[in-house]
């Protein structure tokens, strides 16, 4: 074996360890982004559905909050949603039901890292 090749002995192992670590970090970052976007889009859909439910004719105050909690509990880990609130606004002379949802930002799995996601759903109130 030549002197040049003898100096490279074991370099493939080191190269594999360093590259696989970098590849693993990249995959974890992509998974983190995908999971956070999935949770954000799901929460937005739940907030909009809760607002629609609360905007129905004859709906009691708090129906939108209850519907949003129900949907979030069915689809996500129950502790992910920290706060759901409902209020009414007037936009262009029409009553609008607004449902706000606050949840923990997920960290590749159902655990949050202290950051909050805030989403809002709106729907025109029926019969006004």
Delimit the domains of the chain by residue range: 38-124
What is the 8-class DSSP label of residue 121? Answer: E
Please compute the mean of the pLDDT values over residues 40-58 and round it to a whole number: 94
Return the exposure string of 46-83: e unless at least 16 CB atoms fall within 10 Å of the residue's CB, then b: bbbbbbbbbbeeebeeebbbebbbebbeeebbeebbee
Predicted TM-score (pTM) of this structure: 0.79
Q: Is 47 helix (H, G, I), strand (E, B) or coil?
A: helix
**What is the average pLDDT across 98-127?**
82
What is the tens place of the pLDDT at every residue in 14-28? 889 889 999 998 888
DSSP 108: S
Q: What percent of the chain has pLDDT over 70?
A: 86
Residue 108 has pLDDT above 90, yes or no: no
Residue 101 pLDDT exceeds 90: yes
């Amino acid at each position: 074996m030549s002197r040049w090749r003898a100096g490279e002995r074991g370099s493939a192992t080191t190269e594999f360890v360093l590259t696989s670590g970098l590849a693993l970090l990249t995959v974890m970052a992509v998974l983190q982004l995908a999971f956070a976007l999935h949770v954000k889009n799901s929460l937005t859909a739940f907030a909009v559905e809760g607002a629609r439910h609360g905007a129905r004719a004859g709906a009691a105050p708090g129906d939108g909050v209850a519907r949003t909690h129900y949907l979030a509990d069915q689809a996500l880990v129950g502790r992910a949603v920290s706060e759901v609130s409902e209020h009414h606004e007037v936009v262009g002379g029409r009553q609008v039901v607004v449902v706000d949802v606050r949840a923990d930002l997920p960290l590749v799995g159902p655990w949050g890292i202290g950051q909050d996601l805030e989403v809002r759903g709106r729907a025109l109130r029926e019969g006004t």
